[in-house]
Structure 1
Amino acid sequence: MNDAADASVAEIHRKLAAALADLVPEDPTLPPHPYLRRHLAEHAAQGNVLDDDHVPPSLLAWETSAAVRRLLAAGEDTASPGRRHWLQAWAKLEPFARDISPVSRWVSLQLAHHIATSNSSAPPQPAPDPEVTGSPVTPLWSDCASADNVWAVTEAPVTSMSTVASADGRQVFVVTGDDLGIVRILRHDATASASPLTVHRGAVSHMLSLGEGRVATASTDGTVSLVDTRRGRIIRSVHQRKATWVSSLALHHSTPRTTLLLVGHSDGHVAALDAATCEPVPLNLPPLDKQPVLLQAVTRADRTTLLLLAQDTTVTCFDGTGTCWRASRTAPIRALLALPGTSAHCAVTDDDGNIAVIDTATGTALGHVPPAPPARVTALGTVTVDDQPALATAASDGTVSLWTTPALTPVPVNLPGHSAPVSALVATRQGRHMRLLTAGADHTIRSWPLLAQQTPARRAWNPITASALSPIRPRRLASAEGTSTWIRNIETGQQHTLLEGESVTALAWVPSDRRLLVAAAASDNSILLLDPDSPHPTPVTRLTGHYSPPLCLVAMAGAAATVLASGSADGTVRLWDVETGQGLASFDDHMFSVRCLASTPVPGGFLLASGGSDGNLRVWDVQRRVQFGQTIRCGQNTVNDVGFFTSEHGDGDGIATAGQDGSLKLWNREAPEHPLKEFRPGGGELTAVTSYTSTSGRTIFVTASMTSIHLWDPSTDRRLLQIVTGYPINTLKMAADWRSAGLSPVLLATGEAGTMIVSLDDRRL
């Protein structure tokens, strides 16, 4: 087809998209015609008008085409000049929003759009866009970094990745291995090319393409297997060494006609297999210690090959007959990578976080990047940025950095997308440009364009480690991020620093002597009581006694005094008199970390609930300093969060627990032998829980999974709403709507990416 014909076809699709867009209902709660749901976005993409005007936001909650994010990615070179804010917001959360109701999809899109376009320096205001009318959720304010460049959502964390070309060379498949031993073959749009393959009994730690569609996979179970990616099947297991794990895979061109697949093990053993037949081949190597060995092969300009072996702190270069040189690092070597090209360089990183490029001809370091604590390098990869070679380094804080080689100067491309350590990365070509795929422990794979001049700077993910909302007006939010703790008036937008240079693990507002203090758990295991209204905040009181940093704090203000409760990683719950700083009691009944606390007033005092890593829930009588009732063994592995609630039948208080096993359980505190109700929303472990009373008098629970917030009505056992966030939420709090005398509750949700505040109208659910 010639250019004129192509233009004619595009014009037809443009006219179709424009005509069909007029047929989409303006009300997002009304379902569009099935043809619009399935084909409108594709018509717009083929007509080069894939924008918010031709694919209206009210369609997206119902959209069922192959994937909007795929259409956006495929058309990035010829993007429509129209606005695409809603489309881009939908593309970011689309992988997380499968199999949920249209109302949940619409609310999630509305929130994602607000996060992407809001000004976090302004006070909370209802979203003015008329396109969001009729929604049960009104976004008020957010400082979150939006879920960025999500390419795929995985059931288990991906631990290794590789790429392989199709038989005709026109398509590149991405092959992933996860920590359950499962291998998946994915197309460029992240759809499955074949059924998942259970290849190993341990995590797939390494993966290497051998050509002709074959991929070698290695595991923590000590085996190496072959996978045929073109047919989507396991070929066979080719190597096993029991009681070890595979520490390295490498290809070594020992002769011009022979390529070896080298397998390094945790006990220092190295096996050599013919890469074509996978039959064992003798290999002459220098003596190795009985510890994990890392392997890489490099080729010099004269086509001679060298083999690099790393153990502990030493890199050894071997030319097939003897040792050429040894280079020592200051810490045990974590990763070793041969760099492409004829310069015969390799990159190395160690446990201290140092990164270096070594000249394999001499063993000298050509470039060096000092460590950037507390993050450590978790993976290395080679990429090209603007057609220039570069080194990609992934870190435990979820960031990916790019460096020129061999000098290791930073490339101005900022990739802070993951909310958990990055475990694997691989470069692939999609369209005319290279992209970098990164897999993280947050169960996502993200896709990044490798264009230094066109990649906008992104907000770094500096995880929120603690947050607390003041109990009275003016509503103020205390948040700890990195080594800074700040106070923000969420009614006016004013903000100031409360504490600088200290990593805080828990926060709480504490009433004291007619004023509000902020309690902050510090890295030295103490608890600081700070005056948030002081121009130069200094600790009013320092509470000491824990042997590990407190993970949770709760204040209980009574008629006589205010008591502060703290739960710590040392397994204890402690009570403190806020006015005197005196320790009142210490409960050491939990075997492991105390991860959550909640309190409720009762006649004569308070009850305090504590849950933790031992899976137990305990309730304490604060006034009498004793345990109240029996220990509740929740059966949820770790109890991540706990909250009291009042039964709508008036038969006393209950307790809700959010568990690591993905369940929310409701308990009767008087008779806790069995849970009253149980909710399993899916999406991994539950990290937080809170509740509120609806306009009809029902108790509604709000809980957070790894990528969503769920509203659940236990009286009907019905999920009312699922709000997709795309990242974990670690704190949920309810408050009254301070903007008016209305009954709509306000939900504050804090996660690793920031804080969002939304108003709920359950009458629309």
Structure 2
Amino acid sequence: MTEQSDTARGHELQDDGDGEAAVHARIAAQLAALSTEQERPPPPYARRHLARHAALGHVLDDARVPPQALAWDTGGGIRALLHHTPAGGPRHWLTAWSAIEPYLREAPLPSRMASLHLAHTALTYPDTPRTRMPPEAAPPADSPLTVHFANWRLSANIWATLPATPTRLLTLDHPRRGLQVAVATTTGTLEFLDAATAHPIGTPLAAHTGEIRSVHLSQPGPDQRQYLVTASTDGTVRLWDAHRHAALGCHTDSTWFDDALCCFDDRGDLTVRSVNGRSELTGWAPPAPPRTLATAPAVLRGALATLVDTDGERVLVHAARDLTVHRLDGTVRAVHPLPTPARTVTAGAEPGLFYCGHADGSITSWSATGGQLPATAPGHGEPVKDLCLLALDDDAESTVLAAARGRTVTLWEPATDTVAELRGHTDTVTALAALPESPDRPGALLSGAADATLRLWTAADIGVRLTAGHTPAPRRASGTALWHSDSGPLIATAHDTTVRLTATRTGRTTTALTGPEPVLALTWARRAAQHLLLSADTTGTVSGWDPAAPGLPPLTPLDCGAPTRLLAACASADGALALLLTASDDYRVRLWDLHTATGLRTWDGHTMSVKALAAACTGDGRPWLASAGTEGVVRLWDPATPDDSADRIHCDQGILHALALNTEPADGLPPFLVTAGDQADIRLWDLATTQPIGPRLTGHHAPVHAVATFTAERRTYVVSASRDGIVRLWDAATCRPLLTVATATPLTWLDATPHPGTATVDLTLAGPAGTALTSLDLAHPALAG
């Protein structure tokens, strides 16, 4: 028995009668002391159980789970515990950790401490320059990253991150392991998560070879066993033991399956009902072969639900072009015409009541025998992908329907006809499930989305939103740019028609531009002695001015002829060359001379949308110009060539979202290009030969939207930022990953600027959550190996 176990056992034996919670509180205090007394690492028992003891002792706060112990936590499941555990004191560090914990997986200590420092600074000291932060805001010794300024809105309700998009969620109560959440995905896996900690249980099941479109749990049978049934686009319906996760049978068809469910008939026999791509309703009672029960006109997506009618009979609702109510033997009880196609169906809280989510985003209520009911929630154009019934308390009047529509979860309370929205996901919401209330946990809603996250919404969150009603969607910056001025880094951000400048050393924000048209892109450019802030708008006009010298003449406006979303500028060391590269919605790439404000070239080589630009000059003044996008091909443009001929690099990375150039690398590397896109990997290309350099850089789990490369202290680095909420630093010569920083939000832009003659690089990040200015100590032991 370990020393820590002896300590815990000693407290149990010496219980003074204050109750079980007091015992756990004292254990947590002792484990916290052990965690802070030692530099490397806390004892194994503390790493696994400190947060759990603090939660059971009702003292889950920063004092009992100190920052020194957080980054070592391996079993606390803090993000889940915080939602249903009362606080004994401040939770600033715990809240910060809960925001990034789902993203870190097996990241090493420096990455965890850097991520924790970023999250804590963003939550505790928003819009505050480092010079105004208290000493306790200094980065931990194990972190190579220092946060200098953060206007960063972190989401604290991310419950779990996933390797693929969830398609369906459900909860099941395991007789030994307690409540679990089953997650079906687009890749055909079925993963089980502990509802208390969000930790995976066992190895994910490779259930199907295609997208899982349905997962359903039976009621307990006569022998108290429960079953899962899954349906997939691979043309199979599979039956599973819900508690052992063991396969029990498979039904195969020549087309895909849209939905399936299982229930027990009047004789206690398990029956499976499914609907395939031909809108055929099939019955299957293993081990007997399946049989077709009914055929409906084919639709894009069919749906099933089972419910008990007002007369006590269990019926089956099949949504196709109409709503057909079947008895379990397949005979038809009623047919109800549909106003618009249904995509999902769920049973209501009362007998005979059910709800439909439609292709236009509307939600309708129905009686199994009487047809459509008056209660209806209007649509907004996005189809309803899933429906989930919530009971906020024991009062039936408080029943709420949650609908996955677009990037939001729509809340509809039929009794009061109240409609509200839950916002936070950064991509389409695809799946919903209710976490039932228990003595130690209030009820909650889980939502999954194409951003590969699961978010948890408490009953309190839902109640507040229903009371407050609709809120406008947060404004997102359409452009971000950074200039290292003499007075410190200056961040420019564009929101609609306004461009704002934030001085990161003072925290002061000023309005630099308010124009008639929405701004789509920003960049800084050097022209002689001027540093121009360039903006492009929806008319295709590029404007430029020097915020530090308002008396100097601005750039003569450039007319790109179509909405312009991308800008990239470069200048030679002697200032003789000052170029701007633009990409517009007409698929054209244009090259401009900033000295004369004239167009030099217009290239028509792209046949699809341009998503990324890069421009850089070599030491001797030679410009390198690159563009890429939906075609997945990079074009390297030569200013001396007037036609559309260009060197091409076929990257095999899907749609390309990010490019970066390094024309003066170290470590013996040739001048190279960095590419990244939908395939979530990063590749380096020799500019002279257009051949790849080294292996692909892998590790991201979502499309990469931003890359940068820099050389400092005779080493060359690559930085990447992704929709998976992760920033990664790589050694370009060895392709070795050096650091992972979790930002807990998708990233769309980054800048890496080394300090000349030092081992420090300023790393600036931007995305839907805002902006953050940080610096990396490249000489830190964690990065210097």
TM range (shorter): 0.7 to 0.9
Deviation of 1:460 (Å) = 5.6
Deviation of 1:512 (Å) = 7.5
1:620 aligns with 2:632: no
Distance 1:631 1:72 in 2: 52
Deviation of 1:346 (Å) = 1.8
Residues 504 and 365 of structure 1: CA distance in aligned 2, closer, same or farther (over 3 Å): farther
What residue is the counterpart of 1:177 in the other structure? 184
| 8 A Cα contact 2:377 2:419, kept in partner | no
Deviation of 1:486 (Å) = 3.8
What residue is the counterpart of 1:328 in the other structure? 339
| 8 A Cα contact 2:96 2:123, kept in partner | yes
1:405 aligns with 2:414: yes
In the alignment, residue 688 of structure 1 is paired with which amino acid?
Answer: A
What residue is the counterpart of 2:278 in the other structure? 267
In the alignment, residue 72 of structure 2 is paired with which amino acid?
Answer: W
Deviation of 1:264 (Å) = 1.9
Distance 1:278 1:382 in 2: 34
Distance 2:303 2:734 in 1: 56
What residue is the counterpart of 1:520 in the other structure? 536
1:698 aligns with 2:711: no
Question: RMSD across aligned C-alpha pairs, in angstroms?
Answer: 4.0
In the alignment, residue 617 of structure 1 is paired with which amino acid?
Answer: V
What residue is the counterpart of 1:437 in the other structure? 446
Deviation of 1:215 (Å) = 0.8
1:611 aligns with 2:617: no
| 8 A Cα contact 1:96 1:153, kept in partner | yes
1:128 aligns with 2:134: yes
| 8 A Cα contact 1:498 1:532, kept in partner | no
Question: 1:95 aligns to what SS in structure 2?
Answer: helix
Distance 1:466 1:360 in 2: 52
| 8 A Cα contact 2:280 2:293, kept in partner | no
What residue is the counterpart of 1:598 in the other structure? 614
Residues 39 and 290 of structure 1: CA distance in aligned 2, closer, same or farther (over 3 Å): closer
What residue is the counterpart of 1:508 in the other structure? 523
2:502 to 480, 486, 489: 489
Deviation of 1:390 (Å) = 0.7
In the alignment, residue 668 of structure 1 is paired with which amino acid?
Answer: D
| 8 A Cα contact 1:574 1:583, kept in partner | yes
1:553 aligns with 2:567: yes
What residue is the counterpart of 2:106 in the other structure? 99
1:655 to 661, 665, 673: 673
Residues 165 and 5 of structure 1: CA distance in aligned 2, closer, same or farther (over 3 Å): farther
| 8 A Cα contact 1:417 1:461, kept in partner | no
Pick which of 590-599 and 628-637 moved more: 628-637
* Cα deviation digits, residues 180-230 of structure 1 (max 9, x gap): 111223332333434322222210011111233211100112221111121
What residue is the counterpart of 1:479 in the other structure? 493
Deviation of 1:644 (Å) = 1.6
Distance 1:147 1:290 in 2: 38
Residues 291 and 709 of structure 1: CA distance in aligned 2, closer, same or farther (over 3 Å): closer
1:15 aligns with 2:20: no
Question: 1:328 aligns to what SS in structure 2?
Answer: coil
In the alignment, residue 636 of structure 2 is paired with which amino acid?
Answer: V
Where in structure 2 are the equivalents of 1:158-177 lying within 5 Å? 158-167=166-175, 171-177=178-184
2:698 to 662, 676, 680: 680
| 8 A Cα contact 2:169 2:433, kept in partner | yes
In the alignment, residue 18 of structure 1 is paired with which amino acid?
Answer: A
1:61 aligns with 2:71: yes
* Cα deviation digits, residues 696-741 of structure 1 (max 9, x gap): 332232222423112222345543321112232121113478xx99
Deviation of 1:676 (Å) = 5.0
Identity %: 29
In the alignment, residue 456 of structure 2 is paired with which amino acid?
Answer: S
Residues 317 and 577 of structure 1: CA distance in aligned 2, closer, same or farther (over 3 Å): farther
Pick which of 494-503 and 643-652 moved more: 494-503
What residue is the counterpart of 2:604 in the other structure? 588
Distance 1:114 1:43 in 2: 27
In the alignment, residue 568 of structure 2 is paired with which amino acid?
Answer: V
Where in structure 2 are the equivalents of 1:277-356 lying within 5 Å? 280=290, 283=293, 288-289=297-298, 292-303=301-312, 308-311=317-320, 315=323, 320-321=331-332, 323-329=334-340, 332-342=341-351, 344-351=353-360, 353-356=361-364
In the alignment, residue 766 of structure 2 is paired with which amino acid?
Answer: T
Deviation of 1:282 (Å) = 6.2
What residue is the counterpart of 1:197 in the other structure? 205
Question: 1:132 aligns to what SS in structure 2?
Answer: coil
Question: 1:51 aligns to what SS in structure 2?
Answer: coil
Distance 1:651 1:359 in 2: 70
Distance 1:470 1:562 in 2: 16
| 8 A Cα contact 1:251 1:296, kept in partner | no
Pick which of 211-220 and 505-514 moved more: 505-514
Question: 1:632 aligns to what SS in structure 2?
Answer: strand
Deviation of 1:505 (Å) = 4.9
| 8 A Cα contact 1:197 1:234, kept in partner | no
What residue is the counterpart of 2:732 in the other structure? 714
Deviation of 1:619 (Å) = 1.9
Residues 16 and 196 of structure 1: CA distance in aligned 2, closer, same or farther (over 3 Å): closer
* Cα deviation digits, residues 46-80 of structure 1 (max 9, x gap): 4332211122101212233343335445xx34x23
Residues 713 and 612 of structure 1: CA distance in aligned 2, closer, same or farther (over 3 Å): same
Distance 1:284 1:494 in 2: 65
In the alignment, residue 148 of structure 2 is paired with which amino acid?
Answer: L
| 8 A Cα contact 1:126 1:140, kept in partner | no
What residue is the counterpart of 1:689 in the other structure? 707
Deviation of 1:93 (Å) = 1.6
In the alignment, residue 443 of structure 1 is paired with which amino acid?
Answer: A
Deviation of 1:132 (Å) = 2.8
Pick which of 318-327 and 427-436 moved more: 318-327
| 8 A Cα contact 1:476 1:487, kept in partner | no
Question: 1:17 aligns to what SS in structure 2?
Answer: helix
| 8 A Cα contact 2:659 2:707, kept in partner | yes
What residue is the counterpart of 2:4 in the other structure? none
Residues 203 and 504 of structure 1: CA distance in aligned 2, closer, same or farther (over 3 Å): farther
Distance 2:390 2:581 in 1: 51
Residues 172 and 435 of structure 1: CA distance in aligned 2, closer, same or farther (over 3 Å): same
What residue is the counterpart of 2:752 in the other structure? 734
In the alignment, residue 394 of structure 1 is paired with which amino acid?
Answer: A
Question: 1:106 aligns to what SS in structure 2?
Answer: helix
| 8 A Cα contact 1:574 1:586, kept in partner | yes
Deviation of 1:20 (Å) = 4.2
In the alignment, residue 658 of structure 1 is paired with which amino acid?
Answer: A
* Cα deviation digits, residues 542-573 of structure 1 (max 9, x gap): 73445xx6542213467678543223566442
Question: 1:7 aligns to what SS in structure 2?
Answer: coil
What residue is the counterpart of 1:146 in the other structure? 154
Deviation of 1:484 (Å) = 6.0
Distance 1:540 1:349 in 2: 51
| 8 A Cα contact 1:552 1:568, kept in partner | yes
User: Normalising by structure 1, what TM-score?
Assistant: 0.84
Question: 1:391 aligns to what SS in structure 2?
Answer: strand
In the alignment, residue 128 of structure 1 is paired with which amino acid?
Answer: P
1:725 to 743, 746, 750: 743
Question: 2:419 aligns to what SS in structure 1?
Answer: coil
Residues 599 and 347 of structure 1: CA distance in aligned 2, closer, same or farther (over 3 Å): same
Distance 2:316 2:48 in 1: 54
Question: 1:69 aligns to what SS in structure 2?
Answer: helix
Residues 132 and 582 of structure 1: CA distance in aligned 2, closer, same or farther (over 3 Å): closer
Distance 1:704 1:264 in 2: 41
User: Normalising by structure 2, what TM-score?
Assistant: 0.82
What residue is the counterpart of 2:479 in the other structure? 466
What residue is the counterpart of 2:9 in the other structure? none
Structure 2: 5+ residue runs without aligned partners? 1-11, 220-224
Structure 1: 5+ residue runs without aligned partners? none
* Cα deviation digits, residues 11-42 of structure 1 (max 9, x gap): 34433433443444489x75344454344434
Distance 1:503 1:443 in 2: 31
